[in-house]
Chains A and B, each alone.
Chain A
Amino acid sequence: MRIVNHPILSFERGREVEFTFDGKKMKGYEGEPIAAALHDNGVRVLSYSKHLHRPRGFYCAIGNCSSCLMTVNGEPNVRVCTEKLREGMVVETQKGRGDIK
């Protein structure tokens, strides 16, 4: 969910863009982290772990921990907490290690 009225902050957001998450159309703002846009759309599970297939979400949100790896435009292991959202991006849940095509 977006914060609309904040007592102190105002948010400068980029233009609204469309992207897909596992084939579903979603909206976000250009230049914000992919993870922020997904979170706003209610998506908190970003990947499944390699061995035990446990669901993973983000943890640090600043690119330190690699808890947020997803497949973006076909490329696996992208840290979506720092990767910026662009128009038409294809974002997919990553299962395990990911394959480089």
Chain B
Amino acid sequence: MKKTEIAVIGGGPAGLMAALAAAEMGARVTIMDRNSRLGGQLVKQTHMFFGSEKEYASVRGIDIGKVLSAEVLKNPRIETMLDSTVIGYYPDDGVLGVEVEEKTFVKIKPEKVIVATGASEKFLPFENNDLPGIYGAGAVQTLMNEHGVVPGENVLMVGAGNIGLIVSYQLMQAGVNVKAIIDAAPSIGGYWVHASKVARLGVPIMTSYTVKAAYPNELTGALERAVIWQVDDKWQPIPGTEKVLKVDVICISVGLSPLAEILWQAGCRMKYVPQLGGHVALRDENMETTVPGVYVAGDVAGVEEASSAMIEGRLAGLNAAKSLGYDNGKYDEKRREAMEQLQNLRSGPVGEKIRQGLAQLAL
């Protein structure tokens, strides 16, 4: 069995920062990601980031990912395992089961675990929602921005939050036609900068609309048409308002929910918090869950954004290292700094929902 001091599960912004912070304090870290590269969601994000100056606002997500990954890869205290999926955590003896390259099964016994697995996309119920051509927004981004293949010719985007707006813009950058962006809410959820960018390119953003049904091409069986309809202020569809759109792709962007299987397995106390996307683990201000030695950071700790994911990662890394007795003399200062940054990020009206969510989690 392989041993390590701190295992970091997930190599997105949260995991990368956690690994760097723990190593800086002096701990030995093993970071694992099921992908063949580090970076998590950042790798697909071609737009300039929103967020605070300090956490790389106005830098493109892909570039932040590259910088952090390079730092992790050259750090002698961090071991990186790619193509490595953590498929189980056995709380009785604190062992992680890791499948490497879909071939070998490796057991790892860490002293501390930081779970930074991110989130997965939510789905939407409507008639024929299982047709080929109906894809998650993240899937479309992966196909397009990582693998350089376009998802189709004409797209209906469902969801006018930041992700829906940004992916619509990216689709157009790749030469794909976005027929409409719809959202069941009465107003646009994302930032105005993103909304006006797509609106300027002539894409209608239709609020108070949802998908009624999707229909296949008789020959291929894949999506050919979507029917949308309006909803009233009680979210009930209004018959007679149907519109037919000829699209070969419906892109679903209705939110994310934390990818928390490992936390359930570990026996962490979980709570359903809608403001944070679903079930999340209770934790203290050091990001430690109710299971001693198991920490959380990033979207799995509550769906938010990359800047806060990075700082939560740093906090978790610092604290996990400190609990093993590591301190390079800067622990107190760094911890205070990170906590202040989180508070700043979450202040003001934009952070209202997150603050409400987090208030339900504190230990």
Q: Does B151 contact A (CB under 8 A)?
A: yes
Q: B148 an interface residue at 8 Å Cβ cutoff? A: yes
Interface digits, A67-82 against B, CB 8 Å rule (1 contact, 0 not)? 0000000000000011
CA distance A58 to B173 in the complex (A): 23
A90 to B271, CA, bound (A): 45
Min Cβ gap B127→A in Å is: 12
* A13: interface (CB < 8 Å): yes
- Check A8 against B60 for contact (C-beta < 8 Å): yes
Total of A-B residue pairs, C-beta within 8 Å: 90
Verify B121–A1 contact, CB threshold 8 A: no
**B154 close to chain A: CB less than 8 A:** no
Q: Across the interface, do B139 and A58 meet the contact criterion of CB distance under 8 Å?
A: yes
Is B134 close to A, CB under 8 A?
yes
Contact A61 B134 (CB under 8 A): no
Q: Which of B89-128 contact A (CB under 8 A)?
A: 102, 120-121
* A62 on the B face (CB < 8 A): yes
Q: How many chain B residues touch the partner (CB < 8 A)?
A: 36
Smallest beta-carbon distance B121→chain A, Å: 6
Cross-chain contact A61 with B221 (CB below 8 angstroms): no
Determine chain A's interface SS by DSSP, over half rule. Answer: loop
Please state if A46 and B120 are interface contacts (CB–CB under 8 Å): no
- The answer on a CB contact under 8 Å between A57 and B135 is yes
Instruction: Tell me, yes or no, whether B163 is within 8 Å of chain A by CB.
Output: no
Partner of A58, one of B135, B150, B174: B135
CA gap between A13 and B149 in the complex, in Å:
11
Contact partner, A55, options B85, B143, B222, Cβ 8 Å: B222
Q: How far is the CB of A80 from chain B (nearest CB, A)?
A: 12
Across the A-B interface, the 3 shortest Cβ-Cβ residue pairs? A57-B132, A61-B139, A55-B221
